[in-house]
Structure 1
């Protein structure tokens, strides 16, 4: 998810799909993004004057992080947000059902509590 950070808030204004950058990242059935493709992402961000403000992916069941999610953040910078949509993103997806995780560094994450998610993640114009 691409956007801007202003006054401690992130605004998502665009997106890029993992397989648009790495055409083979979904070949195994899970996301295995080859880091050699980050250059294309950084170029895209520079062209559009945007940055990566979060990443998002789906899980077949709940929205909890897998061991792989925890061990392999898409952007390994403290403060990065990872969102997980449960049930392969089947409708409806109330904000409270979306897993929201903030990367702390060192493979440590903070979970945004379910009751705080609606206030934390605004969907709208």
Structure 2
């Protein structure tokens, strides 16, 4: 994912990920979703939101989610067979968004240039890049925090909702 300058995220796929994060949040738990798609030069087009099997818990140190190894293997095989690549992970926090030490140490996306999005307040504020924190995996397994300008330059929300055809309605009919 190194060299990517644009990641196109269809609104419907962002909404499906957020719906999962909100549902987990209703139970007071973090949730995680993944985005996969295809690379075309310096642009990556997200084609699928994946909600992996996950175990979310509450500990004395805070909230935690775990995706079992068998599920990660299954997803890897499924993506390979579909010709898709994992580009981003998105997960929620109960309050402010930031990359925790656990997020740094145990990412699902491990490819250089991959993206990790952290959504505050269990996603209750909806699709709002200004409140989401975005990180990018750099050399040495370091997650670099993207500035507001960098994240909006990288992540492009694409409106993919179907439009109704325009119809004229004449008052004399």
* TM bucket, shorter chain: 0.7 to 0.9
RMSD: 1.7
Q: Distance in 1 between matches of 2:121 and 2:69?
A: 27
- Distance change in 2, residues 1:106/1:34 (3 Å): farther
Give the TM-score, by structure 2 length. Answer: 0.63
Q: Distance in 1 between matches of 2:57 and 2:79?
A: 27
Count residues with an aligned counterpart: 120
User: Which structure would you say has the larger RCO, counting Cα contacts within 8 Å and 6 or more residues apart?
Assistant: 2
Asked if 1:89 is matched to 2:123, the reply is yes
> What is the CA distance between 1:12 and its match in structure 2?
0.9
Match for residue 154 of structure 2?
120
1:27-80 Cα shifts (integer Å, max 9, x gaps): 424211222322211221123211101111111112211110011111222211
Mark the runs of 5 or more structure 2 residues left unpaired by the alignment. 1-34, 59-63, 160-173
Give the TM-score, by structure 1 length. Answer: 0.84
Mark the runs of 5 or more structure 1 residues left unpaired by the alignment. 20-24
Q: Distance in 2 between matches of 1:27 and 1:118?
A: 30
Match for residue 43 of structure 1?
77
Asked if 1:99 is matched to 2:133, the reply is yes
* Cα contact 1:81–1:101 (8 A) shared by 2: yes
> What is the CA distance between 1:105 and its match in structure 2?
4.2
| Structure whose CA Rg is larger | 2
Q: Distance in 2 between matches of 1:115 and 1:85?
A: 17
